[in-house]
């Protein structure tokens, strides 16, 4: 099976690209989507189901919003972090083919001196606790999404420029490591990868053409799943399209 994550930056705008992408990937089993930016009544459920997908979603106006699409039925669907009271719709969890998949849109944080930064750190602490609890119940677990953290300097196009900025600060990276310490592997780093591999590029400054990006979208796999993982790739093709999302999808492949 293949597990993917993609921050689409508005599902309303990107739905045709998402459906095209899914149609071209018959091996894909489950896709976690972030930043749908849609209230539930406006979610394009019929179009997605017509394409042969099961779907669950939780959203709000303008910001955030997450969805999970699956070829197999979505079981035991859970919305948001049960241990963190939060009006922002950022998490969706479901069991697919015996695999527990947590799709997360981690808080951006905006800047180190923003009030959103301590919110980000507290939010990730709750995600860590929730993932620990889920992992105890479901040894076959994938935590995927837009983490808004570049784990290492090699995940940053220009580490000097980004030094001490949000997305790379030590408290954020320590929390990313705390997630790994629960017993998760960054599937992308299980394999040899090209240098300067990124999953997000700024719309401005010709970021994509210059490959001035960050690797902030991740597929983390429990040890049981990591043992089955045969590959992980970032698909840059959708980023080349007209009117792209600023993020590229990340796909991990698991042997049966």
**Which of 58, 45, 127 is closest to 87 using CA atoms?**
58
Told to check if 100 binds DNA by CB under 7 A, we report: no
Ligand-binding site membership of 237 (annotated): no
Ligand-binding site membership of 148 (annotated): yes
Ligand-binding site membership of 7 (annotated): yes
Smallest gap from residue 63 Cβ to DNA (A): 6
Smallest gap from residue 15 Cβ to DNA (A): 10
Smallest gap from residue 72 Cβ to DNA (A): 28
DSSP conformation letters of 42-109: G--HHHHHHTT-EEEEE--SSS--EEEEESSPPEEEEES-TTS--SS--EEEEEETTEEEEEEE----
Main-chain phi, psi angles of 61, to 5 degrees: -70, 140
Provide the total of helices (H) and of strands (E) in the chain, helices listed first. 6, 14
Taking CB under 7 A as the criterion, which residues in 52-81 touch DNA?
Answer: 61-63
Q: What contacts 21, CB < 8 A, 6 or more positions away?
A: 6, 235, 238, 249
Told to check if 211 binds DNA by CB under 7 A, we report: no
User: Distance between CA 206 and CA 225 in Å, rounded?
Assistant: 37
Ligand-binding site membership of 246 (annotated): yes
Told to check if 234 binds DNA by CB under 7 A, we report: no
Told to check if 146 binds DNA by CB under 7 A, we report: yes
How buried is 43 (Cβ within 10 angstroms: 0-12 exposed, 13-18 middle, 19+ buried)?
Answer: buried
Contact 160, 166 (CB under 8 A): no
Smallest gap from residue 222 Cβ to DNA (A): 25
Told to check if 191 binds DNA by CB under 7 A, we report: no
Told to check if 7 binds DNA by CB under 7 A, we report: yes
Told to check if 241 binds DNA by CB under 7 A, we report: no
Return the number of the residue (27 or 115) whose C-beta is nearest DNA: 115
Return the number of the residue (7 or 187) whose C-beta is nearest DNA: 7
Told to check if 138 binds DNA by CB under 7 A, we report: no
> For DNA, which residue of 22, 66, 92, 167 counts as binding (CB under 7 A)?
167
Q: Which residues are annotated as a binding site?
A: 7, 35, 146, 148, 246-247
Q: Which residues are annotated as a binding site for Mg(2+)?
A: 7, 35, 146, 148, 246-247
């Amino acid at each position: 099976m293949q597990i993917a994550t993609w921050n689409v930056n508005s599902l309303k705008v990107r739905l045709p690209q998402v459906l095209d992408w899914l149609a071209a990937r018959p091996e894909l089993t489950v896709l976690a989507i972030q930043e749908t930016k849609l209230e539930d009544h406006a979610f394009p459920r019929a179009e997605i189901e017509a394409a042969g997908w099961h779907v669950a979603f939780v959203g709000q106006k303008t910001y955030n919003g997450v969805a999970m699409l699956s070829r197999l039925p979505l079981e035991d669907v859970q919305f948001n972090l049960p241990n963190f009271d939060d009006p922002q719709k950022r998490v969706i969890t479901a069991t697919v083919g015996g695999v527990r998949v947590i799709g997360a849109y981690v808080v951006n944080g905006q800047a180190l001196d923003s009030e959103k930064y301590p919110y980000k750190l507290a939010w990730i602490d709750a995600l860590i606790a929730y993932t620990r609890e889920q992992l105890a119940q479901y040894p076959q677990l994938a935590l995927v999404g837009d983490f808004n953290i570049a784990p290492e300097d090699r995940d940053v196009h220009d580490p000097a420029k980004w030094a001490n900025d949000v997305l790379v600060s030590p408290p954020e990276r320590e929390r990313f490591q705390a997630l790994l310490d629960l017993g998760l592997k960054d599937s992308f780093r299980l394999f040899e990868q090209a240098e300067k591999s990124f999953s997000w590029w700024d719309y401005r400054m010709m970021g994509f053409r210059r490959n001035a990006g960050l690797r902030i979208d991740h597929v983390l796999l429990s040890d049981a799943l990591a043992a089955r993982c045969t590959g992980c790739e970032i698909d840059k093709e959708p980023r080349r399209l007209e009117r792209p999302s600023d993020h590229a999808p990340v796909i991990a492949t698991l042997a049966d």
